[in-house]
Amino acid sequence: MERIIVGLWSALFFFVLTCSVSWAQATAQVSGTVRDQTGAVLPVVTVTATQTETGVARTTLTNETGSYVLSNLAVGPYRLEATLTGFRTFAQSGIVLQVNASPVINVVLQVGQVAEQVEVQADAALVETRTSSVGQVIENQRILELPLNGRNVTDLITLAGAAVQTGTATGRLFSGTQISVGGSVPTGTDYSLDGANHINFLTGVGLDLPFPDATQEFKVETGGLAANRGSSSAVAAVTKSGTNDFHGDLFEFFRNDLFNARQYFSPTKSSLKRNQYGGTVGGPIRKNKLFFFAGYQGTKLRSDPANAEAFVPTAQMLAGDWTTFTSPACNAVGQITLRTPFVGNQINPAQYSRVALYITNKILASLPVQPNACGLITYPGAITKEDRWQFVSKVDYQRSDRHSIFGRFLATSQYLPNGLALTKNLLRSSFAGTDALSTSYALGDTYLIGAHTVQAFRLSVNRIRNWQIGNSFFSLCDAGATFFYCGNAPTWISQSVIAGGFIFGSNTGGADREHNPYWNPLSAQVNDDVTTVKGAHQLSFGGGALYGRMIEKARFADGGQLTFTGAVTGMGMADFLTGRLSTLFQGQPNKHQANQLNLNAYVTDTWKLTPRLTANLGVRWDPYLPQRIPDIVSGIPGAVYNFNHDRFVRGIYSTVFKNAPAGFYYPGDPGFPGRSGINDQYWHFTPRVGFAWDVKGDGKTSLRASYSYGYVFLTGIWREDTSGSNPWGGRTTVTQPGGGLDAPWRDNGGSPFPYVVDKNAPFTPRGLFLTQKPDMKTPNVYSWNLSIQRQIGSNWLASASYIGTRTLHVWGQYPVNPAVFLGFDPCVLDGVPYVTCSAPANTDARRFLSLERPRDGAKIGHLAEFDDGGVQKYNGMLLSLQRRMAKGVTFSGNYTWSHCQGNYSDINQNGPPANETYTKPGDRNFDNGNCFSDRRQIFNATAVAQTPKFSNHTMQMLASGWTVSGIYRVSSGAPVNVVIGTDVALTGTNLQRPNQISPNPYKDRSGRPSTQWVNPAGFAPPAPGTFGNVGWNSLVGPGQWSFDMGLSRTFNVREAQRIEIRAEAFNVTNSFIPGCPQAFVNPFLSPCSPSGLSGVPSVGGGITIGNSTALNSNTFGQIRSAMDPRIMQFALKYAF
């Protein structure tokens, strides 16, 4: 209730404020040339465009070349008039302007009296003859009528073609969806709403758009954008506005499992119930002057599908008999034999860890079902009790014929309980709850300085407050662990992974607010843009500033993240029960703040070289001013530091933190660059060039090309893991501790936690560090396109485009401190003798820096350095065919054939952890392969068809008012990375890949349930100390497709009032659509498509991004997941 009141007061604040503050919105423009009947150009012609729904008019005069430009026009229906003494008035109605559209409407005046009028009823031409980027508009008709699963407008972005969804925001990220457009990295797309910045500063991707009834339309563009855009692709959306007539609706969309098919791999149907309800209202406050619009949508979702799988210890295993669990019946890779000293796959229960048994007994007691003979259980993984609401309000004020103003407010809220609030199943303890609120404000003004000059000022503020709700159950101390501090995590263990088994634990603290982490990003942007027409030139220039801030409190590992890979016994589950801990990852709670200022300026020239040829020229200034990290308190810097190997070798220590190892330096140390660790980069000038050629001069065929160069937005979250480093968060990884699970810090001097962060703060042993070079280069993108468009008849448009993108200086992470393979003979390391010189147990002793300076090296575990040398390349062909709404039918279809490849990248919305580095030290290109977003072939088709209004009464009752709509999508499979799951190379790096020993890496590509997609016999671990020959992301998962349909009937109740009854079906045919081949998957992440996320155990103890399948998984390479079955949705809507 408190947030609803805040939203309503904010809306009222906007209503009052917009009467006196200036601003501008997402717009279109109209241009053309006025001639007489002889073809001579006519100067000083008065050209007026009138928005027919509001009566707002804009007027300009043609210049000496007879040309006119009406820029910064609000989207919607228009009437265009041209008048000149001695000529009849020209009037064209039926023009519909879409967001960022630039149609050319040429006018021919006939000799006569001004009072005489030549009336033309026609929409603008579909062919683009003035701009040179590749774009697609998703108009209001499709937003409202297409079957939209979840009523999330963002899901429609990929329908534009050449776009792939690679991730979905969950948890601490809350808002936004990762989408790669035209081969860009997911953070390389610029999102705007009503012309204002609409990006989550934390993640660099778009915030949620308004729900369908509140969104007017949006446009997706790529392939060489104008200089007013800093990125290689853009999404521009527009909120609905009020008009001279009152309009609105009330609606309810509901789902119930009674009408849905059972999910595949689920033994029972879910209890799905979802209600989405709300309404909109808009109209005049003062006709032709002041308008308002407001809308609300609430969502309540309840569901408990049995769609998660895990392997847990069986009674037979607890008794010491592992023969069943190691048999081919339970393992995709075939028979497994436990390693020495275990014989005959038997383990004496007396060798089991007391902590492991405590955890096992607690988990088994909490399960809703019993495991089968293999220990496999299927349980309700995605239990959901979600409450969301969204409120939007907008006020438009036409202050005069030269001055227009608007303000807009958007709020989105989500509340999701933590996993154990809905069930006692401890396998749900990894599922965090969410209590979040996102607010977005936009103000702006459009002012006509003269007949040919328009100024637009805009201001936006985006803010998210996001609490993550953890789970409380028991701590490692409760389980009997010694030599371990549980004071920071009194009632939980951090998220832990047993390879080939299960995941449990909480990375978001306990269930009470005191122990909940939070992520609160904020951004504020101001821009000023001027457009003026001088002869054949339309000049635009402007600039702006964006201030971003991120404040967070994290507690990823204070309860201790445990990883069991099977490195000792050969099976993760056996390692777990015997307490053979592969890694312990632990830290203490830490806070972090980052501030950043982004500046930009640009100038563009749309130059009409000839009546048929237009050049688009521009240059943009985009300096890079890295994030500044403020001090925690005076004299104690925040989480920013650099590492220099020469300083390490020479034994140069920090004067700021007394216990820091050699080589590290901080703000306040000599030579450290400011508060960011990276030098400011002001000389960032990027050119843009393109052309548009009206091939025949009739506006029906165009040939266009463009080239642009820009920079990638670096997210607010990318420094997150530096805040977890020593001394702030103290995160450290202990590899195969001698005390095992029962006493993990026994042989490491005892637990270093807790401690106070000051100049004398201790540095935990084997800490995790993530650093950068002062001269890091910013990722930049070259993009280009060549396209041809042809209008067929009045309403069809066919186009073919080549789109290319090359991203340079892609940031990855170079392992500075890997373990060095020293062979298998006996050796002595820092005075300690080892029977086998290279083994997992002495990984830390063999690290590069430990061998150079053992005393300082003992404080450094994973040390990664950002590397700016990565490259990604994309080449694609986009074919499209569309029909705008005419005679009740609209259609859009496109086909993309493309390939994206390059180096593994950390430019993602999750923030790079220190242990996620290149696989092979010193060889960036060893991880060169297919991009996460690579889908070789994509086809999208959408259609909306309305039955005509029959004159016959019977036919009208039976057949009029029907609307049928559909979405059909087909896509090639996502890349799949085959990994070993253990540290065979003995370097301590993650995601090591096996050898391919068979020509065919696939086995059964039918895509049927539970089939073996990847061939287990086709891969084998390489020899110890070496790396495999399988390429990064070299396999491809099953193709994806979906077919959704909607059917509705509208009944007119009174004049301008109607009732609509609607039914929608997603996956109409109830077909099995396979997910990606599985590793051990986190049951709370959607595997493969659409999000492209799955988990695989990593050496550092985490969940990595991408589709990976691991050799040490029981379900290696199997199809064990699926997209949703047929789901039905019904709706009732009243509109006026």
Tens of pLDDT, residues 798-849: 999 999 999 999 998 999 999 999 999 999 999 999 999 999 989 999 999 9
Question: How many C-beta atoms surround the C-beta of residue 1023 within 10 A?
Answer: 11
Q: Is the pLDDT assigned to residue 1091 strictly greater than 80? A: no
CA distances from 44 to 33, 40, 63, 90 (A): 12, 13, 6, 15
Average pLDDT value over all residues in the chain: 90
Tokens encoding 380: 């309700």
Q: Pick from 965, 956, 797: which is nearest to 889 by CA?
A: 965
Is the link from the previous residue into 815 a cis peptide, with omega within 30 of 0?
no
Q: What is the pLDDT of residues 353-388, one digit of tens each?
A: 999 999 999 999 999 889 999 999 988 876 788 999
Model confidence band, residue 952 (pLDDT cutoffs 50, 70, 90) = confident
Instruction: Name the least confident of 265-269, 496-500, 930-934.
Output: 265-269
Q: Is the pLDDT assigned to residue 7 strictly greater than 70? A: no
Q: What is the pLDDT of residues 1027-1067, one digit of tens each?
A: 999 999 999 999 999 999 999 999 998 888 999 999 999 99
Instruction: Name the least confident of 5-9, 142-146, 149-153, 1038-1042.
Output: 5-9
pLDDT for position 775: 95
Q: Is the pLDDT assigned to residue 676 strictly greater than 90? A: yes
**Residue 160: strand, helix, or coil:** helix
Q: Is the pLDDT assigned to residue 17 strictly greater than 60? A: no
User: How many whole angstroms separate alpha carbon 569 and alpha carbon 576?
Assistant: 10
Instruction: Name the least confident of 542-556, 734-748, 1070-1084.
Output: 1070-1084
Instruction: Decide if 798 contacts 792 (C-beta within 8 A).
Output: yes
Instruction: Decide if 932 contacts 1106 (C-beta within 8 A).
Output: yes
Q: Is the pLDDT assigned to residue 26 strictly greater than 80? A: no
User: How many whole angstroms separate alpha carbon 150 and alpha carbon 709?
Assistant: 36
Q: Is the pLDDT assigned to residue 1008 strictly greater than 60? A: yes
User: How many whole angstroms separate alpha carbon 472 and alpha carbon 511?
Assistant: 5
Contacts of 1127 (CB under 8 A, 6+ apart): 149, 255, 260, 261, 272, 1065, 1066, 1067
User: How many whole angstroms separate alpha carbon 310 and alpha carbon 577?
Assistant: 16
User: How many whole angstroms separate alpha carbon 994 and alpha carbon 1015?
Assistant: 13
Is the link from the previous residue into 611 a cis peptide, with omega within 30 of 0?
no
639 vs 260, more confident: 639
Q: Is the pLDDT assigned to residue 1080 strictly greater than 60? A: no
> For the chain, how big is the Rg over CA atoms in Å?
31
pLDDT for position 894: 98
Q: Is the pLDDT assigned to residue 914 strictly greater than 80? A: no
User: How many whole angstroms separate alpha carbon 839 and alpha carbon 818?
Assistant: 14
Q: Is the pLDDT assigned to residue 749 strictly greater than 90? A: no
Summarize the confidence of residues 462-491 as an average pLDDT.
Answer: 94
Summarize the confidence of residues 604-622 as an average pLDDT.
Answer: 96
Chain Cα centroid distance, residue 1004: 32
Summarize the confidence of residues 204-225 as an average pLDDT.
Answer: 93
Q: Is the pLDDT assigned to residue 698 strictly greater than 80? A: yes
Model confidence band, residue 722 (pLDDT cutoffs 50, 70, 90) = confident
Instruction: Name the least confident of 90-94, 267-271, 480-484, 542-546.
Output: 267-271
Summarize the confidence of residues 673-690 as an average pLDDT.
Answer: 95
Class of 28-124 in CATH: mainly beta
Q: Is 329 exposed, middle or buried (0-12, 13-18, 19+ CB in 10 A)?
A: exposed
Q: Is 552 exposed, middle or buried (0-12, 13-18, 19+ CB in 10 A)?
A: buried
Contacts of 1065 (CB under 8 A, 6+ apart): 147, 1044, 1045, 1046, 1126, 1127, 1128, 1129
User: How many whole angstroms separate alpha carbon 456 and alpha carbon 22?
Assistant: 9
719 vs 702, more confident: 702
Q: Is 300 exposed, middle or buried (0-12, 13-18, 19+ CB in 10 A)?
A: middle
pLDDT for position 1115: 84
Instruction: Decide if 743 contacts 734 (C-beta within 8 A).
Output: no
pLDDT for position 8: 40
Residue whose pair of structure tokens reads 């202990």 in the numeric block: 734
Chain Cα centroid distance, residue 483: 41
User: How many whole angstroms separate alpha carbon 180 and alpha carbon 1011?
Assistant: 30
Model confidence band, residue 9 (pLDDT cutoffs 50, 70, 90) = very low
Model confidence band, residue 911 (pLDDT cutoffs 50, 70, 90) = low
Residue whose pair of structure tokens reads 């969950």 in the numeric block: 170
Beta bridge partners of 704: 692, 787
Q: What is the 3-state secondary structure (H, E, C) of 231-288?
A: CCEEEEEEECCCCCCCEEEEEEEEEEHHHCCCCCCCCCCCCCEEEEEEEEEEEEEECC
Tokens encoding 203: 């993640």
Element (H, E) at 892: strand 889-903
Strands 537-554 and 518-534 turn out to be: antiparallel
Q: Is the pLDDT assigned to residue 617 strictly greater than 90? A: yes
706 vs 1102, more confident: 706
pLDDT for position 912: 67
343 vs 954, more confident: 343
Summarize the confidence of residues 548-558 as an average pLDDT.
Answer: 91
Is the link from the previous residue into 1090 a cis peptide, with omega within 30 of 0?
yes
Model confidence band, residue 951 (pLDDT cutoffs 50, 70, 90) = confident
Percent share of the chain, pLDDT over 90: 74
User: How many whole angstroms separate alpha carbon 433 and alpha carbon 429?
Assistant: 10
Q: Pick from 805, 1002, 1033: which is nearest to 932 by CA?
A: 1033
Tokens encoding 508: 């978001």
Summarize the confidence of residues 978-999 as an average pLDDT.
Answer: 92
**Residue 661: strand, helix, or coil:** coil
Instruction: Name the least confident of 36-40, 116-120, 259-263, 985-989.
Output: 116-120
Summarize the confidence of residues 182-187 as an average pLDDT.
Answer: 86
Q: What is the pLDDT of residues 577-604, one digit of tens each?
A: 999 999 999 999 989 999 999 999 999 9
Q: Is the pLDDT assigned to residue 906 strictly greater than 70? A: no
CA distances from 180 to 32, 150, 185, 220, 703 (A): 35, 21, 6, 11, 25
pLDDT for position 1101: 29
Residues in the chain: 1136
User: How many whole angstroms separate alpha carbon 255 and alpha carbon 276?
Assistant: 9
Q: Is the pLDDT assigned to residue 788 strictly greater than 80? A: yes
Element (H, E) at 316: helix 315-318
Q: Is the pLDDT assigned to residue 439 strictly greater than 60? A: yes
Instruction: Decide if 867 contacts 858 (C-beta within 8 A).
Output: no
Q: Is the pLDDT assigned to residue 755 strictly greater than 60? A: yes
pLDDT for position 972: 94
Model confidence band, residue 265 (pLDDT cutoffs 50, 70, 90) = confident
Q: Is the pLDDT assigned to residue 959 strictly greater than 90? A: no
Chain Cα centroid distance, residue 780: 19
Q: Pick from 525, 522, 492, 485: which is nearest to 507 by CA?
A: 492
Question: How many C-beta atoms surround the C-beta of residue 633 within 10 A?
Answer: 9
Q: Pick from 735, 764, 732, 816: which is nearest to 660 by CA?
A: 764
Phi, psi torsion values for 153, nearest 5 degrees:
-60, -30
